[in-house]
Structure 1
Amino acid sequence: MPDGWFEYDGDLGETEHRFAEALRVRAAAWRANPLDSRLDPPDAGLPLVASLDLTDPAAHCVILTVGVHLDGRILRGDEVHNQLFTLPDEPTSLAFTATGEPEELAARAADWFEVILRRPIVSCVWTLTRNLHLFADTGELVGGLDNRSFCSPVQLARLVATGHLDGERWADRRGYRQPDVVTRVR
């Protein structure tokens, strides 16, 4: 495909083709790298999968892969496995389901991808121990193991604004000390 968004090899059925082309039109306006997108035609028991990697350019890593599965006129989206592109067994807070015509579903998928692309993400680094990425608007772990909040949105806003929560105290829900570095990723 010429512009790089949701490139794919092989033939698609009519429904998948209509969906893919409508999604590609919307993606052309996104402020993201087209090379972070992928479209996999139905194969090996999976429906059509359109996915997008969210990356941390400074850390040179993918921090979250989100995607949609199109199965006929049913669309399901959520965090997906970054190599198998399967949906999780238990839906995360990002999950959604929609039904409709291919162009409607492509618009719904594009809306969902755009919301995720607009969400701010911060990186919290504890030197020599760990590095976590959080959605700055909710405190949820990005690509987290259980998608529970790491800290409250109010605490996170304070952290992002000042570098500290409640003065010098790091007051998260998991007992970690204050991170050594907090940086905005996107």
Structure 2
Amino acid sequence: MADEWFEYDGELGETERRFVEALRIRAAHWRASPLDSRVAPPDAELPLIASPDLSDPVAHCVLMTLGVHLDGRTLRGDEVHNQLFTLPDEPTKLAFAATGGPEELATRAANWFEAVLRRPVVRCEWTLTRQIHLFADTGEIVGGGDGRRFCSPGQLDRVAATGRLDGGRWVDAGGFRQPDLVVRVR
């Protein structure tokens, strides 16, 4: 089915199949598109990978690719490479790990995916120059990995409440100035 969460080609073992089925049940209630998710069955180099994208449908871009690697009774999750779906060499602030049975691990993965997908995101735009996406609750660049902050906490509160940076001072970070527009993405 072309609109099912975590589609895959190929065969899965019993553990992987139970994990994906349990994950799909939880994903059915997410406010995102199933087309932004995938499963890569295990191969000689990687374990099973389940991965949704955090995207901005208006800007037509993927902001971050999340992924979990299921290897038997061990699950590791983090921001993953958007084409290879490999975990980073150094875990990010989003990283987590768990052990357990397939249904328990699917619950842990779904809880983690939901927590990241629910975080508020804003798009800061500068006319004719650039745009960046920030988690409105922390000011971190979405998919930035380095955790740099671009707004002060007070400005972030205004962004979260109003979707705009009204007043206040834009923190100088590599030549950035107050954006011309801040749009609430999610």
Q: Same fold by TM-score, threshold 0.5 exceeded? A: yes
Alignment identity in percent? 72
Q: What is the CA–CA distance in structure 2 between the aligned matches of 1:44 and 1:179, rounded to whole Å?
A: 47
Alignment of 1:89-100 (within 5 A): 89-100=89-100
- The unaligned stretches of length 5 or more in structure 1 are none
Superimposed CA distance per residue, residues 5-49 of structure 1 (whole angstroms, 9 cap, x where no aligned partner) = 101111111111111111011111111111111000012411100
Note if contact 2:76-2:98 (Cα within 8 Å) is conserved in structure 1. Answer: yes
Which amino acid in structure 1 is aligned with residue 21 of structure 2? E
User: Residue 23 of structure 1 aligns to a residue in which SS?
Assistant: helix
The aligned length equals 185
Partner of 1:164: 165
Distance 1:53 1:89 in 2: 20
Call closer, same or farther: CA 1:26–1:145 in 2, change over 3 Å: closer
Post-superposition shift, 1:113? 0.7
Q: SS in structure 2 opposite 1:63?
A: strand
Root-mean-square deviation over aligned CA pairs: 1.8
Normalised by the length of structure 2, the TM-score is 0.92
Opposite residue 136 of structure 1, the aligned amino acid is A
Return the offset for 1:157: 1.6
Deviation at 1:155, TM superposition (A): 2.2
Q: 1:3 to 1:180 in 2, by over 3 A?
A: closer
The answer on whether the counterparts of 1:138 and 1:152 sit within 8 Å (CA) in structure 2 is no
Matched, 1:142 2:122: no
Query: Match for residue 153 of structure 2?
Result: 153
Q: Which amino acid aligns with 2:130?
A: R
What 5-or-longer segments of structure 2 have no aligned partner? none
Q: Give, in angstroms, the shift of residue 163 of structure 1.
A: 2.9
The letter for the 2-side match of 1:47 is P
Deviation at 1:107, TM superposition (A): 0.3
**Which stretch of structure 1 is more off in the superposition, 121-130 or 78-87?**
121-130
Cα 1:19/1:58, change in 2 over 3 Å: same
In structure 2, C-alpha distance between the alignment counterparts of 1:144 and 1:135, rounded to whole Å: 10
Deviates more, 1:77-86 or 1:122-131: 122-131
Provide the C-alpha distance between the structure 1 equivalents of 2:146 and 2:61, rounded to a whole number of angstroms: 20
Cα deviation digits, residues 152-184 of structure 1 (max 9, x gap): 33321224537336x353135555210111100
Classify 1:89/1:152 alpha carbon distance in 2 versus 1 (closer, same or farther; 3 Å): farther
Q: Is the 8 A contact 1:124 1:182 kept in 2?
A: yes
Matched with 1:32 is 32
1 CA distance for matches of 2:75 and 2:153? 30
TM-score normalised by the chain length of structure 1? 0.92
- Match of 1:112, SS state, is helix
Q: Distance in 2 between matches of 1:88 and 1:35?
A: 24
- Check whether the contact 1:77–1:95 (CA below 8 A) recurs between aligned residues: yes
Look up the match of 2:123: 123
Q: Distance in 2 between matches of 1:52 and 1:62?
A: 10
Aligned partners of 1:2, 1:56: CA distance in 2, in Å? 21
1:135 and 1:162, CA in 2 relative to 1: closer, same or farther beyond 3 A?
Answer: closer
Check conservation: 2:92, 2:145, Cα contact below 8 A: no
Aligned residue type for 2:171 = A
After TM superposition, the structure 1 = structure 2 runs for residues 1-186 of structure 1, keeping only pairs within 5 Å, are 1=1, 4-160=4-160, 161=162, 163-164=164-165, 167=167, 169-186=169-186
